[in-house]
Amino acid sequence: MSLIGHYVNGQILNSQSGRHGPVFNPALGVEISQVGFANQAEIELAVANAKKASVDWKNQSLAKRQAIIFKFRELLEAKKGELAELITMEHGKVLSDALGEITRGQEVVEFACGMPHLLKGEFSENASTSVDVYSIKQPLGVVGIISPFNFPAMVPMWFFPVAIAAGNAVILKPSEKDPSAAIWMARLWTEAGLPNGVFNVLQGDKEAVDGLLNHPDVSAISFVGSTPIARYIYETAAKNGKRVQALGGAKNHMLVLPDADLELVADSAINAGFGSAGERCMAISVIVAVEPIADQMIQKITERIAKIRVGDGRRSCDMGPLVTRQHRDKVASYIDIAIQDGADVLVDGRGVNPDGDANGFWLGPTLIDKVPLTSKVYTEEIFGPVLSIVRVKSFDEGLNLINSSEFGNGTAIFTSDGGAARRFQNEVEVGMIGINVPIPVPVAYQSFGGWKHSLFGDSRAHGEEGFRFFTQTKVVTSRWPDPSHGGINLGFPQN
C-alpha cells in the first residue's frame, strides 16, 4: 500500500516519523493508501526551506511572479480533470462537484494574477516642505495554511495564490482524510516554474498543526474548519504573535416568505442542502418557512429528493458518500436524535439504495420537519445531507431566529418583496447573504467570511482583504536636499 508523503523544497519527502493514517475511497469503503504524519524534524525542515526560499521570492519582480501564477492557471485549466478524479477518489463527491470546486478555486488564482495593482502603495508629495511620505507593501515571510477535508482543492486556493502573489512562501497542511490533492497542486507549481521551497506540503495531524502554530518563523496562519478548532487555532496562533484568519463552522438558515417562488425554493433547497453530501460550510441546513407555505414547499422538496441519484461519484450520480464511516455514522445519529426530540422525519436517508459498492459510506438525503429549537439537530453543525425545517408565523420571528444563532456564516432569503429583502440584508447578523440565491459564496474579488463564531480574527479570505492579510505596510518619510543648497550635484557632467 502506497504511503503519501510531504512535498518540501520541490520534491516528495517520505515521512520518517513512523506515524501514519489511513486514506479511504468512501464509495468503496476500503483503505486505498496511507499518509505519513510529520514529526518535529520534518516540520523544522519544511519551515527552514520555506524561510530560505521566501527571501529570494520576495525580491522577484512582480512581472516574474505574475507570469508564474498565470502559468499555474494555464496548467490547472488543462489538467483539472486529473485533480477532480483524485478528489472524487479520496473525498467521495461526484466528479461534477469536484470540477466545480476546482473552478471556484481557479477564480482566486486568476484574481491573484492581477496582484501588481493590489500591491501598490501610496505617495504623498510635500507632506512637509520638501518631505515626501509613501507606503510600500511587503510579504510576511512564511505563512501556514491548514485546510479541511471537504474542499481539498478550493479552500487551499482561497489562500495560497494570494499569499504567493504577495511574495510569501507557503506551507500547506491538508486534511489527512484526502491529502493527495495538495501534492498534485504542489507538483503543478513546480511545473509552472515556482522556485523550490515557495510552496510546500506538510502532511500530518495535530502535531503538524501545533508545529506551525508554535514555530517562530511562521508569521501567519489561515484556517478553515469547525468552530472549536478555529477558536483553538486563533487563540494559539495569536498567543504566539501571528496573524490569523480562522474560519469556523456554520448553521445556515434559508428564510422563505409566503410570496416566494416555491419552485425556485425547492430547487435551491435541494442544491444547497444536499450538494457535496452537505459537507460544506455554506450548505443550507435549516429552512425557516413562514406559514402558510411549509406544507406546499415540503411537497415540492420531497418530490425532488426522490429523483436524487446517490452513488459512486464516477457514475454520473447526483450525490456521493460521506468522507469516512465514522462521519457517516455521526451524521446518521442526528436522525435518531430528531425522532427522540419529537420531530417528523419525512425522508430518512439511512434507507438509501446507492448506485455503488455496499461497503461505501452512504447516507441519502434526509428531510426533517418541525425540528424543536432545543434539539441538537437544530443547534449543532451536522455537516451532512440533513435538511431541517422550522415553521414560523412571521418575517420578524424568522429574522430573530436566525440572529439568535451562535453562528453567522451564510444565510439566504427567498421572496418577491424587495423591501423585505432589503430589510433582511440590513438587519440579519450574518456575514454572507443570498437574496433568492441559496449559497452566497462571494466571487474571488470579493472576500469570504462570516460573523460571530463562524470567523475568528479580523480578516476574511481572498479579495482585497486577502492581500492585506498576506502583506505588511512600511511607511517611508524621505527628504532629498536640493543640489542648489550645496548638496550633491545630480546634473549632467560638464567635462
CATH number at residue 232: 3.40.605.10
Question: From its phi and psi, is residue 18 left (phi > 0), alpha (psi between -120 and 50) or beta?
Answer: left
| pLDDT reported for residue 439 | 78
| pLDDT reported for residue 488 | 60
**273 lies in some domain:** yes
More confident residue, 207 or 488: 207
**372 lies in some domain:** yes
pLDDT at position 483 over 80 = no
Give me the catalytic one of 220, 281, 389, 412: 281
pLDDT band at 492 (very low <50, low <70, confident <90, very high): low
**20 lies in some domain:** yes
- Report the pLDDT averaged over residues 117-128: 94
| pLDDT reported for residue 410 | 96
pLDDT band at 124 (very low <50, low <70, confident <90, very high): very high
| pLDDT reported for residue 1 | 78
**490 lies in some domain:** no
pLDDT band at 449 (very low <50, low <70, confident <90, very high): very high
- Report the pLDDT averaged over residues 314-319: 94
pLDDT band at 441 (very low <50, low <70, confident <90, very high): confident
Burial of 153 (0-12, 13-18, 19+ CB in 10 A): buried
**Together in a domain, 285 and 319:** yes
**Together in a domain, 187 and 101:** yes
**445 lies in some domain:** no
Given the DSSP bridges, would you call strands 218-224 and 243-247 parallel, antiparallel or unpaired?
parallel
| Side-chain half-sphere CA neighbours of 299 within 13 A | 4
**Together in a domain, 108 and 224:** yes
**Together in a domain, 50 and 178:** yes
> Which residues have C-beta within 8 Å of that of residue 463, sequence separation ≥ 6?
111, 442, 444, 445, 446, 447, 448
**284 lies in some domain:** yes
pLDDT band at 209 (very low <50, low <70, confident <90, very high): very high
**Together in a domain, 57 and 204:** yes
Domain that holds residue 360: 252-435
pLDDT band at 494 (very low <50, low <70, confident <90, very high): low
**416 lies in some domain:** yes
pLDDT at position 495 over 60 = no
pLDDT at position 343 over 60 = yes
Omega before residue 292 within 30° of 0, cis: yes
More confident residue, 487 or 450: 450
Beta strands in 249-355 (DSSP E): 252-256, 284-290, 344-347
- Report the pLDDT averaged over residues 404-422: 97
Cell matching residue 207: 502535531
**Together in a domain, 351 and 415:** yes
- Report the pLDDT averaged over residues 190-208: 98
Residues 356-387 have pLDDT tens digits of: 999 999 999 999 999 999 999 999 999 999 99
pLDDT band at 470 (very low <50, low <70, confident <90, very high): very high
pLDDT at position 261 over 80 = yes
The DSSP string of 159-178 is HHHHHHHTT-EEEEE--TTS
**Mean per-residue pLDDT over the chain, rounded:** 96
- Report the pLDDT averaged over residues 471-491: 80
In this structure, which amino acid lies at residue 468?
R
Distance of CA 86 to the CA centre of its chain: 18
**Together in a domain, 182 and 303:** no
**Together in a domain, 217 and 89:** yes
Total of domains in the chain:
2
- Report the pLDDT averaged over residues 418-425: 98
113 is catalytic: no
Given the DSSP bridges, would you call strands 131-139 and 123-128 parallel, antiparallel or unpaired?
antiparallel
- Report the pLDDT averaged over residues 235-259: 97
> Which residues have C-beta within 8 Å of that of residue 218, sequence separation ≥ 6?
47, 142, 143, 144, 171, 212, 242
- Report the pLDDT averaged over residues 306-332: 97
91: number of Cβ within 10 Å? 32
pLDDT at position 436 over 70 = yes
**440 lies in some domain:** no
Q: Give the Cα separation of 177 and 168 in Å (integer).
A: 27
The DSSP string of 46-96 is HHHHHHHHHHHHHTS-HHHHHHHHHHHHHHHHHHHHHHHHHHHHHH---HH
| pLDDT reported for residue 491 | 64
The answer to whether 323 and 91 have CB atoms below 8 angstroms apart is: yes
**Together in a domain, 201 and 269:** no
CA angle 39, 20, 187 (to 5 degrees): 80
CA dihedral 411, 415, 417, 418 (to 10 degrees): 40
3-state class (DSSP) for residue 116: helix
| pLDDT reported for residue 482 | 76
The residue count for the chain:
495
**Together in a domain, 258 and 231:** no
Burial of 423 (0-12, 13-18, 19+ CB in 10 A): middle
**Together in a domain, 303 and 268:** yes
**Together in a domain, 17 and 99:** yes
| pLDDT reported for residue 481 | 83
CATH number for the domain harbouring residue 317: 3.40.309.10
